[in-house]
């Protein structure tokens, strides 16, 4: 039976490091508050002139190189983001051009912090069905240019960072090679869409999408009901993780590495405690990058591939929760 397999990983973050202390120049906050509430110590912000598709390109080039492939070997590009370069066309089209891709299809996928796992699931379906042999899957976010970095927006602004991560998903037809994506489970609940969202610009706002008033009121910045999101995240993540493991007939104890979306270290520690996951099986990098939404899981994969945390044959469990609400989990044999 054909499986889809991750054969290369890559990541890119901008060089500009913004520490918690740096944020105190813009808003009334403190390193202590941010570290205690979120675990974040620093994040990366783009330099003027850098675009989301530049970050995505660097991550994709690394993933292609790790898979020993050229962009001309790829059949399709799926890009997950919530911070699109423009309203249209999608960021994937700017990436397509920067990668020098041929006339292959590309597409943006909008499922926020679960976006990468959604995209991975569609890549899996495309490969397993035989439609494509190789799909480039990338998560990419530039949050820094869309945050309210004043005291008004501090509850959200301190949490987010810029970055990109990418993987190459390829068909594995080798009966001797058991590695690949074993199970992916996706969920959504639109009822809570406005608990973590950006209201404007909106094509539902008549007669125009954007007014001066919307800008003045700060409705162009992300808003979050933090405690509500926290409560749902710590319930949904264990739920979907169990669902994916049970569908793959894998026991929790047999998982070698858990990689959770990097929204908040407290969420991840809470979930790990609930499930009885020992700390050495959980890898986080939020302290260095903040919440990079759709990029966070492929960035974790890329770091773990490079630091030796990912070993052939190991079972890896990827789990995310995000705006929408969306939540998802994937079980992978590396």
Please identify which of the residues 60, 261, 268, 284 carries the catalytic annotation.
Answer: 261
Residue 329 interacts with ligand ACO (CB under 6 A): yes or no:
no
**N-term to C-term CA, the chain:** 17
Residue 37 interacts with ligand ACO (CB under 6 A): yes or no:
yes
**Could you give the CA distance from residue 204 to residue 184 in angstroms, rounded to a whole number?**
33
Considering only 75, 226, 275, 306, the residue that binds ligand ACO (CB under 6 A) is 226
Residue 6: both structure tokens together: 């991750």
Core vs surface per residue 205-241: b (16+ CB within 10 A) or e: eeeeeeeeebeeeebbbbbeeeeebbebbbebbbbbb
Residue 264 interacts with ligand ACO (CB under 6 A): yes or no:
yes
- Residue 60 a catalytic site member: no
Of the listed pieces 6-14, 130-138, 206-214, 261-269, which binds ligand ACO according to CB under 6 A?
Answer: 261-269
- Tell me how many residues contact ligand ACO (CB under 6 A): 23
- Give me the 41-70 binding string for ligand ACO, x by CB under 6 A, dash otherwise: ------------------------------
Of the listed pieces 126-134, 136-144, 154-162, 302-310, which binds ligand ACO according to CB under 6 A?
Answer: 154-162
Give the residue numbers annotated as catalytic, written as ranges: 113, 261, 291
Residues that bind ligand ACO (CB under 6 A): 29, 33-34, 37-38, 113, 154-155, 158-159, 196, 224, 226-227, 229-230, 233, 263-264, 266, 291, 321-322
């Amino acid at each position: 039976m054909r499986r889809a397999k991750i054969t290369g990983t890559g990541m890119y973050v901008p060089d500009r490091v913004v520490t918690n202390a740096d944020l105190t120049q813009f808003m009334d906050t403190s390193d202590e508050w941010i570290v205690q509430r979120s675990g974040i110590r620093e994040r990366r912000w783009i330099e003027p002139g850098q675009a989301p598709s530049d970050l995505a390109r660097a991550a994709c080039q690394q993933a292609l190189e790790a898979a020993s492939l050229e962009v001309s070997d790829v059949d399709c590009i799926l890009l997950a983001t919530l911070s699109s370069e423009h309203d249209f066309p999608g960021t994937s089209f700017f990436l397509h051009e920067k990668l020098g891709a041929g006339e292959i299809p590309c597409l943006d996928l909008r499922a926020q912090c679960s976006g990468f796992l959604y995209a991975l699931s569609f890549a899996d379906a495309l490969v397993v069905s035989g439609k494509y042999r190789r799909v480039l899957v990338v998560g990419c976010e530039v949050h820094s240019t869309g945050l309210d970095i004043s005291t008004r927006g501090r509850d959200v602004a301190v949490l987010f960072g810029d970055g990109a991560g990418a993987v190459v998903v390829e068909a594995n037809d080798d009966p001797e090679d058991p590695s690949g994506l074993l199970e992916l489970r996706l969920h959504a609940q639109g009822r809570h869409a406005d608990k973590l969202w950006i209201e404007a610009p909106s094509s539902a706002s008549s007669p125009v999408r954007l007014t001066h008033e919307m800008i003045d009121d700060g409705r162009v910045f992300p808003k979050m009901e933090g405690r509500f999101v926290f409560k749902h995240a710590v319930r949904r993540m264990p739920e979907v993780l169990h669902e994916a493991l049970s569908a793959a007939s894998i026991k929790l104890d047999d998982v070698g590495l858990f990689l959770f979306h990097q929204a908040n270290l407290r969420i991840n520690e809470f979930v790990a405690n609930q499930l009885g996951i020992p700390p050495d099986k959980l890898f986080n990098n939020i302290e260095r990058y903040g919440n990079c939404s759709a990029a966070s899981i492929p960035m974790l994969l890329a770091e773990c591939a490079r630091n030796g945390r990912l070993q052939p044959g190991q079972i890896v469990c990827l789990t995310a929760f995000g705006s929408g609400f969306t939540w998802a989990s994937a079980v992978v044999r590396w």
